[in-house]
Amino acid sequence: MKLIFAIILWLTNKITVIALLIAVLTILSAANGILRPIGQDLWNQLSGKEAQEIVNRINRDIKQLEVNTTPQFQIEIDRLKKDIDSKTEAECNTDIPWYEFFRFDKRLQQETACELLRKEAAVYQRLENEYRERQKQLEDLKEQLEQKTNELKESEQRLGEVWKLLVVNFQENWIYFFYIILFVLFASPLWKIWCFFCIAHFAEKVPPIQLTDPINDGNIFYKNAEKTISIKVDLFNPLYMRMDSMNQYDRNLTKRTRLLWKWSAPFISYASGLVELTEFTTKSKVEDGMVVLSPKMASNYITEIQLQQHPGLVMHPACITGISGDIQLKTQWIWSFHSWLTGQHRYIIFYGTGKLYLEGSGGIYVMETSPAKTSVESHLLIGFDSRLGYSTIRTETFWPYFRNKVALMDNQFSGRGVFLRQAVANVKVLTPLEKNLQFISNFTSIIGKFFGF
């Protein structure tokens, strides 16, 4: 049943992502198909582009017709027709003398000549009809040309009126345009000044977040971060680890795949990547085994954190590469002003007795807080003792924040306890496609941080 539930959860996530991608592409395609023709039509009407194209086409048609529709062509046809008419009058309308009436060859010759003259007259008449038809077409085209030329002049006049209207409006409202330009140019600096001297200053006056009572007992032990860690697996402490972190194990251990780390918290397990884990258990009740963990990247390090009846360690689950022992999980929602500034309202807390194996970039350091409070950059923080007072504090100097060298807020801890930080933050090299779709990644990151991932 658990396997079926995990498969359904995985398929649901993939189907949702594909459906969202299809929906976004469909909306963009529909918007392009609807808005682009409308905008093109408006521009054509305003600029007279369509009328100009029609005028050019009519001019080409007129030039082609004028080649065979010249007055000389009509004069030549009239002259030829007169010649045919005179020949026809002379040869076909004259009676044959009575003394040649019985000369059939003479009559046949006359009839043949008359037939040729009539055919020639019909050809010239057809040419004249074609000339008149072309002349009528030419007159129609000139009328259309005049009409479209007037439309083009009206379009140019409208465009000139729009330009004049813009000039007049600019002259009347230039001061407002000037203010808008100033706002666009100085909005970011002004916003940074407001955030640094007002919002961040007010955050320092807000009491810190207290997730767990500081008087609760519990111990935490840690080791220095290393490239590889050997983990002892016995009957009471099975090991759950990510599939790509193991590179060596004893053959006396039983290995199987665990689809979700906590079936009681399937969504947290899935969203934090604690899925498809490799579970190691011992085959014998008296014989232990060893598993060797190594980081996924050459620049990363792994450290071991041991909890003993600890009330809670707030962690980013993505940094966990292995879990051993009786570690439990709970979440806590906080709506403090500090949470609004960091964008995180749900905190994921690991508590109980067991070991957590964490992976960080450039090394992981377990730091103890000082009596005078301790601050750390937020992008380097991966976890902290829930008994500590957690708050945000303004960056100490304004200029580095103004120049985008540091973030506006740092995390601050008060009380007695430890926090965990990595040496450097991972910087992913984006492909051109990922850069174009980075807004989707940023949106999902904001949602993930809201829920504590």
Residue-wise pLDDT tens digits, 326-376: 888 888 888 888 888 888 888 888 999 999 999 888 888 888 888 888 888
Report if residue 151 sits inside a domain: yes
> Structurally, how many domains does the chain consist of?
3
- Are 152 and 10 members of one domain? no
Structural domain ending residue among the three candidates 129, 144, 169: 169
- Are 253 and 374 members of one domain? yes
- Are 7 and 130 members of one domain? no
- Are 299 and 162 members of one domain? no
Per-residue pLDDT band for 433 (boundaries 50, 70, 90) equals very low
pLDDT at 388: 92
Report if residue 148 sits inside a domain: yes
| Chain mean pLDDT for the chain | 77
CATH at residue 227: 3.60.160.10
Query: Whole-angstrom Cα distance, residue 374 to residue 368?
Result: 9
Report if residue 17 sits inside a domain: yes
Of the candidates 305, 155, 321, the one whose C-alpha atom is nearest the C-alpha of residue 223 is 305
Query: Mean per-residue pLDDT for 34-52?
Result: 59
| CA distances in angstroms from 256 to 241, 252, 260, 305, 321, listed in the order given | 11, 13, 12, 24, 16
Q: H or E segment at 355?
A: strand 346-361
| Best mean pLDDT range from 26-40, 59-73, 149-163, 237-251 | 237-251
- Are 246 and 160 members of one domain? no
> Lowest-pLDDT range, 91-95, 107-111, 351-355, 414-418?
91-95
- Are 368 and 417 members of one domain? yes
Q: What is the pLDDT of residues 271-316, one digit of tens each?
A: 667 888 888 888 777 778 888 888 888 888 899 999 999 999 998 8
The shares of helix, strand and coil residues in the chain, as percent rounded to the nearest 5, are 50, 25, 25
Report if residue 209 sits inside a domain: no
> Lowest-pLDDT range, 126-130, 212-216, 221-225, 349-353?
126-130
* Token reading at 121: 């007259």
Report if residue 192 sits inside a domain: no
Asked if residue 360 lies in contact with residue 389, where contact means CB atoms within 8 angstroms, the answer is no
Structural domain ending residue among the three candidates 105, 138, 169: 169
Q: Which domain holds residue 6?
A: 1-36
- Are 78 and 23 members of one domain? no
